[in-house]
Amino acid sequence: MTMKLKSLALAICALAAAGNVLAAKDDVLSHRCQTVSPEKVDRTRIDDNLTTFLRAKKARGQATLRETGTVEIPVWFHVINKGKTLAKGNLPDTQIADQIAVLNSAYAATPFRFTLAGVDRTTNKAWFKMKPGSAAETEAKTALRKGGPETLNLYSAAPNGGLLGWATFPSSYKNKPTADGVVVLFSSVPGGTASPYNEGDTGTHEVGHWLGLYHTFQGGCTAPGDGVGDTAFEASPAFGCPVGRDSCATQAGLDPITNFMDYTDDSCMNEFTAEQIARMDQMHQQYRSPVLP
């Protein structure tokens, strides 16, 4: 497969909504993800805790943001399949390497760089079809997960219910560390068959949640939206690539359809904003740094 070097890079599905779970549409080719958290997500508590964390860093004279490319995230790639062929989910090393390359391209303007720490392959039909919150998910992650909060555990499978993927919030790690990680549909990796979601940015989107971002359409047209000041409000997910869409006429700006945290096609999405990058960095410092300041 010929990978595009991104000024285009996309994202697909997974965590962040008001409260606990944001249901997605049923058709895998018409949506990106389902929001999942092992505990009820209290946005006010999370944001208040972040404010306190940053205030303490400033009081100690420490910087609250890190330089581009200075934070290495080790990635354990867990290939869950139902057989030895690609059609049965057994991804080759080439596609795994391409997925890591897509992440590094999409996150090029951030502090984060992704390094493959290892790959394991498991043939288990029940785990292959796992869905969020299921016994199969718990069993798979308990058996396979490696590392601490700083390690990205990325599971490829074929989730039940037509999902492209899901992820956990950084703030959830402390209470349920074995649940931590990102799950993606195996055919969404670069060169997969889940067109138009087959350029590897399901992973980009899900890792955005893993680093603390909400969807761009979080909360619709009502403040605080996604809690990020430089993403325009958006009433609902965008699909395809609807240039000029303005679903929140009472709020400034057109819908952020090229943002990795929307639901548009892989070929449409190509950016994180400066304030999204800052939030990911700060959430990582608070919850995922191996040695917290």
Which structural domains are found in the chain, ordered by start?
Answer: 28-40+63-287 (3.40.390.10)
CA distance 134 to 128: 12
pLDDT at residue 26, rounded to an integer = 25
pLDDT at residue 21, rounded to an integer = 28
Handedness of CA 252, 9, 50, 170 (dihedral sign): positive
Residues assigned a catalytic role: 206
- DSSP β-ladder status, 165-167 and 182-185: antiparallel
CA distance 166 to 281: 20
User: Mind listing the pLDDT tens digit of every residue in the chain (293 residues)?
Assistant: 333 323 222 333 333 332 222 222 223 444 567 655 434 457 778 888 888 888 888 888 888 889 999 999 999 999 999 999 999 999 999 999 999 999 999 999 999 999 999 999 999 999 999 999 999 999 999 999 999 999 999 999 999 877 999 999 999 999 999 999 999 999 999 999 999 999 999 999 999 999 999 999 999 999 999 999 999 999 999 999 999 999 999 999 999 999 999 999 999 999 999 999 999 999 999 999 965 54
pLDDT at residue 28, rounded to an integer = 40
CA distance 215 to 30: 16
pLDDT at residue 250, rounded to an integer = 92
Handedness of CA 51, 44, 282, 233 (dihedral sign): negative
pLDDT at residue 34, rounded to an integer = 63
pLDDT at residue 59, rounded to an integer = 86
Helices 93-106 + 201-210 axis angle, to 10: 60
